[in-house]
Amino acid sequence: MLIFALPKIKLLIMGMNKNTVLAWATFIMIIMGLLLIGMGAFKYDDVAGWGFASTGIGFLAIAWVFNALKGRV
């Protein structure tokens, strides 16, 4: 099954330009940032929660920069 999917994956990857890569990176960073903030808020109630939440905020800040770079690179 994987052999038949490889040409489609290669076509998908080769069809991406710089803006598409930045868009996917922004999307992944937003998801990871929200997951980290959620882990800090709901899973860890001690000091570790503050670390997870602040790291998640950092991920969202980097995603904001990636979004601002779209169209300029």
Residue 11 lies in a domain: no
Mean pLDDT of the chain: 84
Residue 9 lies in a domain: no
Residue 22 lies in a domain: yes
Residue 7 lies in a domain: no
Residue 55 lies in a domain: yes
Does residue 11 register a pLDDT over 60? no
Distance (Å, rounded) from C-alpha 32 to C-alpha 48? Answer: 17
Q: What is the pTM of this model?
A: 0.73
- Please spell the DSSP secondary structure of 10-66, one letter per residue: HHHHHT--HHHHHHHHHHHHHHHHHHHHHIIIII--SHHHHHHHHHHHHHHHHHHHH
Q: Which residues constitute the domain of residue 49?
A: 17-69
Name which of 1-5, 12-16, 32-36 the model is least confident about: 1-5
Split into its structural domains, the chain has a count of 1
* Residue 13: predicted pLDDT: 62
* Residue 66: predicted pLDDT: 87
Distance (Å, rounded) from C-alpha 60 to C-alpha 47? Answer: 21
How confident is the model over 34-63, as pLDDT tens digits? 999 999 988 888 888 899 999 999 999 999
